[in-house]
Amino acid sequence: MPTFESGATRFLETVFLKLAYLLIEAPFEYLRRLGLHDRQKPYEVFIPLENFSNPAIPRTNLQLEARTALVQDARGREHEFTLDEHGFACCTHETRGLDLQALDLQAIESEYLPEVQALIRRCISGVQRMCSFDWGVRKSMDRGEFAKKTVDLENGLDPLLPAVHPHVVQRRMGDEAAELLKGRFRIINVWRPPHIVKSWPLALRDAQTVKPDDLVPADIIRKRFVGETCFAAHSTDHRWYFLSHQREDEVVMSKIYDSDPNVQANCTNQYFGNLAACLHSSFRACLDEDEQTRESIEVRTLVFTDA
């Protein structure tokens, strides 16, 4: 006959296994706050290595620090997360016969972007106008491999290292923005893998847990233009989520900017205005040396609605 002690042990083991599945302790790289940044704006140069070799000019004045955080699995709870409350949402989306593992620039522009915009219309009501302004195919690799890699930074499809430090992109507007901004304006990011994700899954931070002071603006210097992004400093208040074994028909939509200051997933920042700070990053979830490299297709879209 089983004893109470053995039954309690099995119960505790079951609880432990469930918690181990739902919660993963993972390292993330956060911006280290430096006194230097009081007199020199943070920056990072993204120019091919052979064109940027002057040791007198540091490639960046950023310093990142590794901090661990608990990441909770959203699997089975996908319906609980919304763009307005958390800054991200999970949904299913079957493409119309597209081979996601063989998409090129032409196929993305002519076939995939219309599908992404149709998906956004399905998830957001009252859309007046949309414009997908940035897209790319990205591949996971470790920092050592990335440091040796020379990429074509003018080609949005050149596989870039997914950001290990949380990041958001600044506001971007089209020519018609002045009129369209009389309504509500959002920047929506649509992220999906071309195959099941076993390592380096996308982690998303609940936008409600991000405070304005957590965000630090930084210049991103490319060959032909200077853009702006922001990095996040560490906070124990942040809550992270990921979707375990995300399939190719599962899409994560996240909100980068929202002009509506009244939604929960908003963070009013002096540099970026009403920033829908659903910061995202990635973490290594599989220690198998033969793990498959994680690839992803990412599209950013301007979305204008009446309200």
What pLDDT was estimated at residue 124? 94
For residue range 166-188, list pLDDT tens digits in order.
Answer: 333 334 555 676 777 788 888 89
For residue range 21-63, list pLDDT tens digits in order.
Answer: 578 888 888 999 999 998 999 998 877 666 666 667 788 899 9
If you average pLDDT over residues 2-17, what whole number do you get? Answer: 56
**pLDDT score of 4 more than 60:** no
For residue range 111-122, list pLDDT tens digits in order.
Answer: 889 999 999 999
Question: What is the pLDDT confidence band of residue 256, given thresholds at 50, 70 and 90?
Answer: confident
Question: What is the pLDDT confidence band of residue 274, given thresholds at 50, 70 and 90?
Answer: low
**pLDDT score of 146 more than 70:** no
Encoded tokens for 128: 């007046």
d(CA 262, CA 68): 31
**pLDDT score of 154 more than 80:** no
198: Cβ contacts below 8 Å, ≥ 6 apart: 245, 285, 286, 288, 291, 292, 294
What pLDDT was estimated at residue 147? 39
d(CA 191, CA 275): 19
What pLDDT was estimated at residue 86? 92
The residue with tokens 């390292």 is: 27
Residue scoring higher pLDDT (52 or 278): 278
**pLDDT score of 144 more than 70:** no
* Residue 301 · residue 121 · CB < 8 Å: no
If you average pLDDT over residues 222-231, what whole number do you get? Answer: 77
What pLDDT was estimated at residue 119? 95
Least confident of 18-27, 90-99, 223-232: 18-27
What pLDDT was estimated at residue 89? 95
Question: What is the pLDDT confidence band of residue 287, given thresholds at 50, 70 and 90?
Answer: very low
If you average pLDDT over residues 226-234, what whole number do you get? Answer: 81
What pLDDT was estimated at residue 2? 47
| pTM recorded for the entire structure | 0.75
Please provide the average confidence, as pLDDT, over all residues in the chain.
76
Domain covering 4-305, topology: Jelly Rolls (2.60.120)
What pLDDT was estimated at residue 163? 39
If you average pLDDT over residues 6-33, what whole number do you get? Answer: 69
Domain boundaries, the chain: 4-305
Three-class DSSP labels, the chain: CCCHHHHHHHHHHHHHHHHHHHEEEEEEEEECCCHHHHCCCCEEECCCHHHCCCCCCCCECCCEEEEEEEEEECCCCHHHCCCCCCCEEEEECCCCCCCHHHCCHHHHHHHHHHHHHHHHHHHCCCEEEEEEEEEEEEECCCHHHHHHCCCCCCCCCCCCCCCCCCEEECCCCCCCHHHHCCCEEEEEEEEECCCCCCCCCEEEECHHHCCHHHEEEEEEECCCCEEEEEEECCCCCCCEEECCCCCCCEEEEEEEEECCCCCCCCEEECCCEEECCCCEEECCCCCCCCCCCCEEEEEEEEEEECC
Least confident of 9-13, 104-108, 251-255, 287-291: 287-291
What pLDDT was estimated at residue 158? 38
Residue scoring higher pLDDT (277 or 258): 258
Least confident of 16-20, 64-68, 204-208: 16-20
Buried b (16+ CB within 10 A) or exposed e, 80-97: ebbbbebbbbbeebebee
